[in-house]
């Protein structure tokens, strides 16, 4: 898919997590299906757990913490994305007006990204409905990595890839359990995100150049990600601000997806 919009948000004051998840899946998700505009695919990722910064930090240095969901809206083109965020002839879409009922909108974190799937050593060997969807595991880890400000963006992505390959080479459990790895690189179209910031009502959001999504069979295997994460953060390659990075364990929920069931 050429481009997608990822918004990591926190639930609004006064809602429990259960109330929030019920609302965004069943009500907000329905609004999006009814008023689809140019959305090609829409996945909600409901956060089960997560960590912000690293163990060596004495206190949180992230500008935002406590994410409850990451929505991923896929589009065929940047123009389709804009046509959805600013639909012609509509002052505010229903989805736009609905956000304030469940999200703490001012601190949404938004990334417009392009995806690349990386090879894994051990793809899921056979379909098992007890483990999520065909070909994928049931648990996704979403790792938001902040570039160090002194590192050029092009070097950041190259160094991440080197560190990733080296981390996997020394993390046998991760190599065994990672079923799918998707790299979402921030696009420069994100530099012109005034419409998106208005849509999601963000105020001075932090910028993340990279989101890495890793699928595991279930929550039982998150130790595999921990092994990989420790190897990444110990890398001699200095490209990320790990104190301002975070990862989330999420449950993906399909809201809109026209792909055939076997894909």
Chain residues that interact with other proteins, rule: CB under 8 A: 2-3, 77-79, 82-83, 86, 88, 114-116, 149-155, 158-159, 185, 188-189, 191-192, 194-195
Phi and psi at residue 153, to the nearest 5°: -55, -40
Shortest Cβ 29–other proteins spacing (Å) = 26
Pick left, alpha or beta for residue 71 (phi over 0 → left; psi -120 to 50 → alpha; otherwise beta).
Answer: beta
Which of 52, 156 has the CB closer to other proteins?
Answer: 156
Which of 19, 155 has the CB closer to other proteins?
Answer: 155
Cα–chain center distance at 16:
22
How far, in Å, CA of 263 to CA of 261, rounded?
6
45 forms bridges with which residues in the sheet?
70, 252
Which of 193, 217 has the CB closer to other proteins?
Answer: 193
Which of 32, 113 has the CB closer to other proteins?
Answer: 113
Cα distance between the two ends of the chain: 14
72 forms bridges with which residues in the sheet?
6, 43
Which of 88, 263 has the CB closer to other proteins?
Answer: 88
How far, in Å, CA of 63 to CA of 103, rounded?
17
Phi and psi at residue 184, to the nearest 5°: -115, 110
Shortest Cβ 177–other proteins spacing (Å) = 27
Give ∠ CA 177-216-227 in degrees, rounded to 5. Answer: 55
Shortest Cβ 256–other proteins spacing (Å) = 21
What secondary structure letter does DSSP report for 198?
A: H
Pick left, alpha or beta for residue 81 (phi over 0 → left; psi -120 to 50 → alpha; otherwise beta).
Answer: alpha
Which of 51, 82 has the CB closer to other proteins?
Answer: 82
Shortest Cβ 192–other proteins spacing (Å) = 6
Shortest Cβ 197–other proteins spacing (Å) = 9
For residue 168 the two structure tokens come to 């996997």
Shortest Cβ 193–other proteins spacing (Å) = 10
């Amino acid at each position: 898919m050429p481009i997608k919009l990822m918004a990591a948000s926190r639930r609004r004051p006064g809602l429990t997590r259960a109330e929030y998840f019920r609302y965004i899946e069943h009500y907000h998700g329905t609004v999006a299906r009814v008023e689809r505009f140019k959305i090609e695919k829409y996945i909600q990722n409901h956060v089960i757990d997560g960590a912000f910064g690293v163990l060596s930090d004495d206190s949180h240095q992230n500008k935002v913490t406590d994410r409850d969901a990451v929505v991923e809206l896929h589009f065929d083109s940047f123009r389709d994305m804009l046509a959805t965020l600013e639909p012609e002839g509509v002052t505010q879409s229903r989805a736009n007006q609905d956000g304030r009922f469940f999200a703490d909108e001012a601190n949404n974190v938004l990334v417009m990204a392009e995806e690349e799937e990386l090879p894994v050593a051990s793809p899921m060997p056979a379909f098992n409905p007890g483990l999520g969807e065909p070909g994928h595991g049931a648990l996704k880890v979403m790792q938001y990595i902040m570039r160090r400000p002194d590192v050029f963006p092009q070097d950041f992505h190259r160094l991440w890839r080197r560190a990733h390959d080296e981390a996997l080479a020394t993390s046998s459990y991760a190599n065994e359990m990672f079923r799918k790895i998707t790299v979402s690189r921030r696009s420069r179209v994100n530099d012109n995100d005034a419409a998106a910031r208005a849509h999601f009502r963000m105020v001075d959001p932090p910028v993340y150049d990279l989101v890495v999504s890793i699928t595991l069979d279930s929550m039982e295997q998150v130790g595999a990600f921990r092994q990989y994460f420790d190897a990444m953060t110990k890398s001699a390659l200095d490209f990320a601000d790990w104190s301002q990075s975070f990862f989330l364990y999420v449950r993906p929920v399909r809201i809109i997806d026209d792909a055939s069931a076997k894909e």
